[in-house]
Amino acid sequence: MTSDQAVPEFQHRTVLLEEAVDALDIAGARADGWYVDGTFGRGGHSRLILERLAPAGRLLAFDKDLQAIAAAQSIADPRFGVVHGSFAGMHEALAQRGVLQVQGVLLDLGISSPQVDDAARGFSFRGDGPLDMRMDTTRGMSAAEWLATEDERIIEKVIRDYGEERFAFQIAKAIAARRAIEPISGTRQLAEIVAHAVKTREKGKDPATRTFQAIRIFINKELEELEIGLEQAFQLLAPGGRMAVISFHSLEDRIVKQFMAGKARLPQPDRRLPIRAVDLPQPLLKLLGKAKPSDAEIAANPRARSAVLRVAERLSPAGERA
C-alpha cells in the first residue's frame, strides 16, 4: 500500500514508512546515488526518500495507476521523475536515462487505500461498483470482461492458486451458472455469487475476500511482474545497494523471501573437486532481516496488520560491502 498524500476523497497512510526508507540507508556517498520507488501510490515513500537524498541524488518512481501519476505531478523537485508503467520495466526506463546502477530499490506491493475505497475501481466488495480491478485502466481486460469469456476451469485455477481458496471449484461453477443467465458486471453482484457458493468462512472474514484478491492479482499480473521486478532490481543494485520490499499477503511474501534467500545462499560445489576456498562462489545478497508494523501502527491503520518488510543488500564479488 503505497501513499502518504492522498487525493481529497480517499485518505491513505503509508505502511512502514520510516522503516522502509531507513532500510535503504540513504547516507554519506550513497545519498548522491539513484533510487527507485517502484510503487509511487500517493508518494509517501518517495517524499521521504527525497528528503534524505543529497542534491546530486536522483529518484525514479513507477506506477501503473493514472491517479497516482497525477498525484506525482505535485512533486516539483528536479531530482524526481515518474514513469507511468510497471516496476517490471525499471531496467529499460533507467537505461533510457543512462543509468546502469542504483543504490536502492523500494517496492510497496498490493493496492493502495484510494484504490480500495473508490468503488468505481472495482477492487472492493464493500461498495457497489463496476467490476474493473485494473490498476492501469488504459490497457488490458477488466475483471468483468475476463469472467464473461474465460473457461470455467481456468477461473477455478486462478481463484484456487491466487486466492488460496478451498472452495474455488464451487465458486467457479456458480460464476459460470450466473453468467449464462446475465452478465456479471458489478462488485456486489460477484460478492453475492461467492457468498452463496462458500459454505463456511473464517470468523470476521468476508466470503468474497479471497476471490477478489485472486482475480485482482491475475488481472494485473502482479506475481509475474513481482518476479521480473525483483530480478531487475537485483541486477541494477550497485555493491552495497539495498532492496526493501513490503508485501501484504503470503503469495507475495513467499516470492520475495525465496528470491532473497536464493541470492543469499552460498552455492555448494562438488566436494570431490579440488577448489580452493578463495575460488568458491560467493553469495550475491546479504539478508538484513524483516520487520512488521508496530501495535501502534496497526491500531492507527488496521490495513497495515498483514504487512511484512524484507530487506537485503547487494554484495560485491568478494562478498563484502562496497
Strands 80-84 and 58-63: parallel
What pLDDT score was predicted for residue 6? 36
Q: 89 a known binding residue?
A: no
Pair (69, 151) in one structural domain: no
Residue 7 pLDDT: 35
163 and 251 share a domain? no
Q: Do 26 and 107 have their domain in common?
A: yes
115 is in an annotated binding site: yes
CATH code for position 238 = 3.40.50.150
pLDDT of residue 260: 98
* For range 245-264, the mean pLDDT: 96
262 in a domain, yes or no? yes
Tell me whether residue 270 is annotated as binding: no
Q: What per-residue confidence (pLDDT) applies to 279?
A: 54
CA distances from 3 to 17, 85, 121 (A): 9, 17, 17
Same domain, 212 and 233: no
Grid cell 488460496 is found at 164
Residue pLDDT, tens place only, 151-182:
999 999 999 999 999 999 999 999 999 999 99
Whole-prediction pTM: 0.89
62 is in an annotated binding site: no
- The arithmetic mean of pLDDT across residues 54-68, rounded, is 97
Domain's final residue, options 204, 219, 234: 219
- For residue 132, CA distances in Å to 6, 140, 220 come to 21, 10, 11
Q: Does any domain span residue 9?
A: no
User: Is 63 annotated as ligand-binding?
Assistant: yes
CA 87 from chain center: how many Å?
9
Query: 49 Cβ partners below 8 Å, 6+ apart?
Result: 21, 24, 26, 35, 37, 59, 106
Point out the domain boundary residue: 198, 219, 240: 219
Compare 133 and 9 and report the one with higher pLDDT. Answer: 133
> According to the 3-state scheme, what is the secondary structure of the chain?
CCCCCCCCCCCCCCCCHHHHHHHCCCCHHHHHCEEEECCCCCCHHHHHHHHHCCCCCEEEEEECCHHHHHHHCCCCCCCEEEEECCHHHHHHHHHHCCCCCEEEEEEECCCCHHHHHCHHHCCCCCCCCECCCCCCCCCCCCHHHHHHHCCHHHHHHHHHHHHCCCCHHHHHHHHHHHHCCCCCCEHHHHHHHHHHHCCCCCCCCCCCHHHHHHHHHHHCCHHHHHHHHHHHHHHHEEEEEEEEEEECCHHHHHHHHHHHHHHHCCCCCCCCCCCCHHHCCCCCEEEEEEECCCHHHHHHCHHHCCCEEEEEEECCCCCCCC
The pLDDT, as a whole number, for residue 85 is 97
Supply the mean pLDDT for the chain: 90
Would you say residue 163 lies in a domain?
Answer: yes
Instruction: Please give the pLDDT value at position 11.
Output: 55
Instruction: Identify whether residues 241 and 97 lie together within a single domain.
Output: yes
Shared-domain flag, residues 34 and 51: yes
Confidence of residue 115 (pLDDT cuts 50, 70, 90): confident
Give residue 10's pLDDT: 45
44 is in an annotated binding site: yes
Same domain, 42 and 83: yes
**In the block, residue with C-alpha cell 541470492:** 263
Classify residue 55: in a domain, yes or no.
yes
Q: Is the pLDDT of residue 67 over 70?
A: yes
pLDDT value at residue 174 = 98
Q: What is the CATH number of the domain that holds 167?
A: 1.10.150.170
Is position 80 annotated in a ligand binding site? no
* Structural contact between residues 111 and 67, judged by C-beta atoms closer than 8 angstroms: no
206/226 same-domain check: no
Whether 186 is in a domain gets the answer yes
Residue 210 shares a structural domain with residue 285: no
Whether 5 is covered by a domain: the verdict is no
Are 238 and 201 within one domain? no
Q: Which of 183, 165, 222, 186 is nearest to 155 (CA)?
A: 165
Q: Of 1-5, 58-62, 68-72, 210-214, where does mean pLDDT reach its minimum?
A: 1-5
Q: What share of the chain in percent tops pLDDT 70?
A: 90
Q: Is the pLDDT of residue 116 over 90?
A: no
- Cα gap 249→308, rounded to integer Å: 8
31-40 tens-digit pLDDT = 999 999 999 9
State how far the Cα of 85 lies from the Cα of 151, in Å rounded to an integer: 29
Residue 143: pLDDT band with limits 50, 70, 90: very high
> Of the candidates 202, 219, 236, which is a domain's last residue?
219
pLDDT in tens, 297-314: 999 988 899 999 999 999
For β-strands 285-291 and 237-247, DSSP reports them as unpaired
From CA 102, how far away is CA 160, in angstroms rounded? 37
Indicate if 226 and 215 belong to the same structural domain: no
Q: What range does the domain containing 192 cover?
A: 137-219
User: In total, how many domains does the chain have?
Assistant: 2
In a domain, 126, yes or no: no
Look up cell 485518505; give the residue.
11
pLDDT tens-place string over residues 186-223 = 999 999 999 999 977 777 688 999 999 999 999 999 99
pLDDT tens figures, 234-248: 999 999 999 999 999
Same-domain check for residues 287 and 205? no
Residue 246: predicted pLDDT: 97
Q: Is residue 123 part of a domain?
A: no
